[in-house]
Amino acid sequence: MIRSQRQTGILAGWMKAADIHKVILQLSPSVSRLAVLCDENTHHCCFHKVSSQPVFRDGEFSNIIIPPGEGSKSMKQCMRISRELLEAGIDRHGMVINLGGGVVTDLGGFVSGIYKRGIRFLHVPTSLTGMIDASIGGKTGINAEGLKNQLGLFAFPVKTIIDPSFLCTLPDREIRAGTAEIIKHSVLSANPGILKTLSGLELTGNSMGKQKEDWMNVIAHSIKFKEAIVSSDPFDLHKRKVLNLGHTLGHAIEAWSMENGVQPLRHGEAVSAGLIMELYLSHRKTGFSKEFLDGVVRFIIEKIGWFPVPGHLEPLKKYLAHDKKSTGQGIRFVLADERGHGLIDQLAEEILVLECLNFYRSLS
Ligand code: GLY
């Protein structure tokens, strides 16, 4: 199969938002009109850095602003953005710039992927999760029926532009949550050194300036690791599935927290709980190192936090049943082996999954 650059499009560039006009100039005159998609927060904190670029100075672009938060990954916002693109006269040669965290890049990538059968888009992630995970690898989508990412498609950006200075604008909670995916990448790359570097970092927006070099190292490691996995399996058919470590229970807990009146968890917070449980399961089933498990548990509980999870499996079952990894015989997980290599399609009986929940609850 021949894939165009755009299908597998590679991927993250270590650039600054200030370079955005260079990318657009490279593409022009083939880009007819631009739209910038933001949420209310990124419109307030980040938009000026993009809109002040020469290519935007004549005001010939549209700005679409959505409410912040996971609730915006909806069909309602999808239709609204499409309407605004139509009203703005964005044709098949137009381009969307998705300026925001994972919600903006997932939603903006999805709309761009289906609008007029697909128009070009750039990702400019502004959150830690966005930079090291959501904006890399072409997964786009929205939630449906209370379930995460049920409607979506693979659609690859022309480029992902990483400007770490955006991280200084983030609330500390966002930095803590984003760190969960970095830990996942460090486990799967069998690199305890990243965890060690992370342990010396303050997980705050402020620390991005003070501890810049170490932050750049862990972010670069994470991006490189994810790019390598994605380029070997862009469409998630085999190897890429390892990136779901921590996400079987993580997604279920995230969806449960959104529907059940406890404080809704950030994606990374739910993944931090899912990682502890699924690494505990790995330790029980594959011999994943107890020392590495203890290090991850200590780091997550002290630096990211502990979050409420149900005391039994029942409330999570409806979310697990929709998980692509579940079957009639048990629940399918990605586990890490004793060297940290990801093992896909590992079945675990319910009793063992309950033990994982109880292990996590014992850490409160
Ligand atoms: N976040 C999992 C993936 O991109 O495959």
Q: What is the DSSP code string of 317-339?
A: HHHHHHSTTEETTEEEEEEE-TT
| Any ligand 1 atom below 6 A from CB of 236 | yes
Q: Which of 44, 64, 53, 58 is nearest to 20 (CA)?
A: 53
How many A from CA of 38 to the centre of ligand 1? 22
The CATH topology of domain 172-361 is Dehydroquinate synthase-like, alpha domain (1.20.1090)
Q: Name the DSSP class of 167.
A: G
Confidence at residue 363, expressed as pLDDT on a 0 to 100 scale: 97
Q: What is the pTM of this model?
A: 0.89
| Any ligand 1 atom below 6 A from CB of 274 | no
| Any ligand 1 atom below 6 A from CB of 227 | no
Rg value, the chain, Cα: 20
**For the chain, what are the domain ranges?**
5-169, 172-361
Cα–Cα distance between 344 and 137 in angstroms, integer? 19
Q: Which residues pair with 120 in a beta bridge?
A: 95
**Range of weakest confidence among 167-181, 231-245, 251-265, 349-363:** 251-265
Whether 59 shows a pLDDT value over 90: the answer reads: no
Give the chain's mean pLDDT: 90
Tell which atom from ligand 1 comes closest to the C-alpha of 137: 4
| Any ligand 1 atom below 6 A from CB of 332 | no
**SS3 (DSSP) at 291:** helix
Q: 11, 139, 188, 222: which to mutate for ligand 1, most atoms within 8 A of CB?
A: 139
Whether 54 shows a pLDDT value over 50: the answer reads: yes
Confidence at residue 353, expressed as pLDDT on a 0 to 100 scale: 95
| Any ligand 1 atom below 6 A from CB of 176 | no
| Contact predicate 242/229, CB 8 Å | yes
Residue minimizing CA distance to atom 2 of ligand 1: 243
Q: Which residues pair with 148 in a beta bridge?
A: none
| Any ligand 1 atom below 6 A from CB of 49 | no
Residue minimizing CA distance to atom 5 of ligand 1: 243
| Any ligand 1 atom below 6 A from CB of 323 | no
Q: 222, 243, 245, 248: which to mutate for ligand 1, most atoms within 8 A of CB?
A: 243
Whether 122 shows a pLDDT value over 90: the answer reads: yes
Confidence at residue 325, expressed as pLDDT on a 0 to 100 scale: 53
Task: Sort strands 120-125 and 159-161 into parallel, antiparallel or unpaired.
Answer: parallel
Domains 5-169 and 172-361 share a fold: no
Confidence at residue 7, expressed as pLDDT on a 0 to 100 scale: 42
Half-sphere exposure of 20 (CA within 13 A, CB side): 29
| Contact predicate 336/282, CB 8 Å | yes
Whether 327 shows a pLDDT value over 70: the answer reads: no
Confidence at residue 6, expressed as pLDDT on a 0 to 100 scale: 44
| Contact predicate 309/356, CB 8 Å | no
Cα–Cα distance between 74 and 118 in angstroms, integer? 19
Residue minimizing CA distance to atom 3 of ligand 1: 243
Q: How confident is the model at residue 306 (pLDDT cuts 50, 70, 90)?
A: very high
How many A from CA of 319 to the centre of ligand 1? 18
The CATH topology of domain 5-169 is Rossmann fold (3.40.50)
Distant-in-sequence, close-in-space partners of 10: CB < 8 Å, separation ≥ 6: 227, 231
